[in-house]
Amino acid sequence: MPDTTTERAALIEGAPAPGVKKTDPIVVADGVQRTFGGVHAVDVDHVEIPRGAITALIGPNGAGKTTFFNLLTGFDKPNHGSWSFDGKPIGGVPAYKVARRGMIRTFQLTKALSMLSVMENMRLGAQEQPGENIARALVPALWRGREQQITERAQDLLARFKLDTKADDFAASLSGGQRKLLEMARALMSDPTMIMLDEPMAGVNPALTQSLLHHILDLKATGMTVLFVEHDMHVVREIADWVIVMAEGRIVAEGYPDQVMSDQAVIDAYLGSHHDTDLGDLSEEQQAELLDETQAEVEREEERNDG
Amino acid sequence: MDFSFLLLALGQIISPQTIAYALAALGLAVQFGFTGLLNFGQAGFMAIGGYAFAITTLHLGFPFWLAVLATLVATTVMALVLGIPTLRLRADYLAIVTIAAAEIVRYVVKTPDLIPLTGGSDGLNGAAVTFDALNPIPPGSYGFGPLRYDENDLWIILVGWIFVILVALLVRQLMKSPWGRVIKGIREDEDAVRSLGKNVFSYKMQSLILGGALGGLATIINIIPTSLQPDNYGTQTTFFLLTIILLGGATTVFGPLVGAIVFWIVLSLADGFLSLAVQYHWLPITTIQQGPVRFIIVGVALMLIVIFRPSGLIGKKREAFFA
């Protein structure tokens, strides 16, 4: 096990702060804005994702994490902004081309292709299959060789994710957790340089969570960059090297996991100031008081945003 | 009682009309069953293809192969025109646009101002000349019982069936290939396929063009033994085709062929039995009502298929479209 502390310390130049420069960024985004009918869903001034590390993107519901994901991967178009991947600008590049350049994503709601077999799902993840061209598809001699390579790679990955016994079953027959595994394995078929996981642990039982965590750590070990959205703080603490916190579309904090999670601003934004009191235990007066306090806080926040 | 309609129903197994519907249904299966594109205007593709063939043959004197090429060009243009604006949108938009486009085509060709070109409501006759000129079968009468075919009927039936089977084998090869895998992936979830680096728009367009072209070619087979009638390519035709692919199995290649045969036999038998029933006053309907009643039977059959046999006659249960 490498020394994570020194490894992590080498990630940034300067002190941890929102938009801090990274020593070796793989993604650099500038002024990315996406509005939905006047609401700034995403409003990111500057952010850099470190290469070869596991970065967690956290924030309350509606913070714009998934929208930011969609923007980076070309699934949504921003109103403003530019960003680059691996040194090349990819703003405005269609989703499929982003994927071909090595930035592969998964989805919050798992997208296993149910009426295809697990093996066909995997094969679909591969790149450079000449048989995907309609004319060459008619001449099997042109693609059989590549298909063989793809199948072997798929078998290796399925074995790694313990899905090899399911290879010939329809993806529809898999459990929710197995579908998460399949989606991750499928994303790996193209040997991406960066993998973006949107809530990889959502709806996965604790036993499988452990195995998914190991898989994600394995990805990093092979030199891949991982960016993931997650709500479970234990997961973030356990595997993330770097944490980016979003709230109301902005990046409100960045830092090492332990540091970020003890940051008062983050606790306020993410968990709420009264995260350790149970609403049911409060009297009506206390609840009203709490409501006023929250509103005051929101107003202060708005003033700060305007200023 | 005259039961000769039973043999005539049997004749539907090989009739050019069955071949045409099988081919057009195969095209729709490529689009709808395999790619998940809701093309509700297959009749429009059939009409465009048929008119391209008939007009180039009759007015421009194109030889057969060139007129076939014109059909392919016309259906491809229609696919591009309909597909470019709608294939990036949600699936329902394509359905709305195609159903409207098919009706536009039908109304345009029926316009009185276009009679010199399209023949208006009467359609176009005699587009078979170039095809019949290629006929190597000696003149005569072939067949048995009430099923008699002259040399030209036999020629189109032979060529038509050979062509349909070749196309079906071609489509099967495509669907078994990596291309077909992408196509089926798009049916399941196009965003997932996009996230894996496939140009989904291009694949959907290819599928729309391929399916539309098969619709256009189907009309050539349909009009050669008869004539081109615009009202044969109304919305009902599209729904017959949907019934056929659901009957045979929307996610299969040979389902549309089986579906077309069964569909026309059932329709023909229903017609025969109904006319007997009307003749002997077993049913309280008139001869005029008899026609529409056949289509009520088609509608009920479609519902029953979707409810009780969603995978079609030869589809695998697990691949059922309406599971």
Considering only CB atoms, which chain B residues are within 8 Å of A143? Answer: 177-178
| Angle ∠(A246,A305,A56) on CA atoms, nearest 5 | 10
Would you identify the CATH topology of the domain B4-319?
ABC transporter involved in vitamin B12 uptake, BtuC (1.10.3470)
Cross-strand pairs, A196: A105, A227
Q: Is A174 on the interface with B (CB under 8 A)?
A: no
**Per the CB < 8 Å rule, is A170 touching B318?**
yes
Q: Which two tokens stand for residue A174?
A: 């898999």
**Distance (Å) from the C-alpha of residue A186 to the closest C-alpha of chain B?**
8
Q: What class is the A5-112+176-306 domain? A: alpha beta
What is the C-alpha to C-alpha distance for residues B247 and B249, in angstroms, rounded to an integer?
A: 6
CA-nearest residue to A76 within chain B is: B191
What is the C-alpha to C-alpha distance for residues A285 and B66, in angstroms, rounded to an integer?
A: 86
Kindly list the domain boundaries of chain B, sorted by start residue: 4-319
Question: Which phi-psi region, left, alpha or beta, contains residue A199 (left: φ > 0; alpha: ψ -120 to 50)?
Answer: left
* C-alpha closest to that of B159 among B135, B143, B183: B135
Q: Is A186 on the interface with B (CB under 8 A)?
A: yes
Other Cβ atoms within 10 Å of A61 Cβ, number: 7
Cross-strand pairs, A198: A229
- Note the ipTM here: 0.85
Q: Where in chain A is the domain with CATH 3.40.50.300?
A: 5-112+176-306
What is the C-alpha to C-alpha distance for residues B132 and B46, in angstroms, rounded to an integer?
A: 21
- CA A157 vs. chain centroid, Å, equals 20
Chain B residues within 8 angstroms (CB to CB) of chain A: 170, 173-174, 177-182, 184-185, 187-189, 191-200, 206, 210, 251, 318-319
What is the C-alpha to C-alpha distance for residues A200 and A187, in angstroms, rounded to an integer?
A: 12
* C-alpha closest to that of B194 among A61, A62, A113: A113
* Facing B185 at nearest CB: one of A94, A124, A143: A124
**Per the CB < 8 Å rule, is A131 touching B177?**
yes
* C-alpha closest to that of B20 among B299, B229, B321, B317: B229
pLDDT digits (tens, 9 = 90+) for B244-279: 999 888 889 999 999 999 999 888 888 888 888 888
Q: Report yes or no: B312 and B246 within 8 Å, Cβ to Cβ.
A: yes
| pLDDT for the residue numbered B92 | 83
Q: Is A75 on the interface with B (CB under 8 A)?
A: yes
Q: Is A95 on the interface with B (CB under 8 A)?
A: yes
Q: Give the DSSP letter of residue B198.
A: -
| Optimal mutation site among B177, B190, B207, B321, interface A, most CBs of chain A within 10 A | B177
Cross-strand pairs, A47: A29
Burial tier of B95 (Cβ tally within 10 Å: 0-12, 13-18, 19+) = middle
Q: Is A247 on the interface with B (CB under 8 A)?
A: no
Q: Report yes or no: B46 and B280 within 8 Å, Cβ to Cβ.
A: no
What is the C-alpha to C-alpha distance for residues A56 and A257, in angstroms, rounded to an integer?
A: 9
What is the torsional sign of CA B297, B299, B300, B305? positive
pLDDT digits (tens, 9 = 90+) for A178-222: 999 999 999 999 999 999 999 888 878 888 888 889 999 999 999
Q: pTM for the whole thing?
A: 0.88
Q: Which two tokens stand for residue B251?
A: 């996610």
CA-nearest residue to A107 within chain B is: B192
**pLDDT tens for each residue of chain B, 323 residues long:** 677 788 878 888 899 999 999 999 999 999 999 999 999 999 999 999 999 999 999 999 999 999 999 999 999 999 999 999 999 887 788 999 999 999 999 999 999 999 999 999 999 998 999 999 999 999 988 887 778 899 999 999 999 999 999 999 999 999 999 999 999 999 999 999 999 999 999 999 999 999 999 999 999 999 999 999 999 999 989 999 999 999 888 889 999 999 999 999 888 888 888 888 888 888 888 878 888 888 888 788 878 887 888 888 777 665 555 44
**Per the CB < 8 Å rule, is A120 touching B181?**
yes
Q: A300 or A143, which is more confident? A: A143
